[in-house]
Each structure stands twice: as C-alpha cells, then as structure tokens.
Amino acid sequence: MLAGLHAGSEPEGLDAVPLLQDAPDPDRRAGDTFPSTRPRRTVHAHVDVTRHTFAMHVHGDCMTSATGDSFPPGSLLIVEPDMAPVSGDYVIALVMPSVTTFKQYVVDGGDRYLKPLNHRYATRLLGDARIVGVVREMTKRFR
C-alpha cells in the first residue's frame, strides 16, 4: 500500500473527467454535453485537464503493436480537445458523422495522415476528418 493513501480516499492531484462511450462532436465539447444534473461515470486523470477533457476506452486492435507504443482494446484514454495536435501525437478523429477513430496523427510534406500502429490497417489521409482531441494518457487495468 502506498504511504498516505487510505481505503476509500482519492489520491491527491487527480482530476475526474467524464467517461464517454463515443467522442463528442468537435463543435460540442465534452464538458458542454452533460447538464450538471445528469448522472455520469467519471475516471481520474493523472495529467492536467480542462473542463472539456474526457476519457474513452480503446475498441479494436488497430492501435496495437508488437514494438513501441501499443494501445490494446480496453485501454482507457484521457483525451484533451483543447490541445492542437503535432505530428506523432495520438488523436481521436471524427471521420464521419457519429464515427470516430483513434490513430496516430502524422504530417509529411504538408499532407496530414491518420496512421494505425497495427500494420494490418492502412494509413489514410486526414481529408475531411476532424480532430476531436489529443490523447494525453493511457491506462490499462487487468482486473
């Protein structure tokens, strides 16, 4: 047990953010989509957050890799919509109305791409897709 932590207490320095099933539309921020009276599940972030920060789980295997970074299904992502992506960041993007994807954002020669870590999936131009937010943290629970 860690010193200073007691059963049932929240660790200091952690901020609660809403856990969403899907990423919000970039035009409506996560913090704006929940009326204060609506119950919601929250999780704790270990990074600085804004009122728009949200969490979501990884679905599918397109971001798994045998080497380097890997995001297995079920991993919990902390996503920051108020941060502009830079090449190499992991992002959530809205690729079609109500359809989001989790990929690595890559800029090459002026073109912007969404790149999976799993080589079985194709890298695609960002095109009309819109970045919802930058992934700031990933955690994985085993039980």
What confidence score (pLDDT) does residue 15 get? 87
Exposed / middle / buried, residue 105 (Cβ in 10 Å: 0-12, 13-18, 19+):
buried
* Span 109-117, average pLDDT: 97
Say if residue 27's pLDDT is above 80. no
Residue environment code for 90-102, b if the CB has 16+ CB neighbours within 10 A, otherwise e: bbbbbbeeeebbb
Q: What is the mean pLDDT of the chain?
A: 84
What confidence score (pLDDT) does residue 17 get? 93
Question: Which residues 6+ apart lie within 8 Å of 43 measured at CB?
Answer: 16, 17, 19, 55, 76, 78
Provide the β-strand partners of residue 115.
104
What confidence score (pLDDT) does residue 35 get? 40
8 A C-beta contact, residue 123 and residue 60 = no
**Which pTM value belongs to this model?**
0.81
SS3 content of the chain, % helix, strand, coil (to 5): 0, 35, 60
Domains and CATH numbers, the chain: 15-139 (2.10.109.10)
Provide the β-strand partners of residue 42.
18
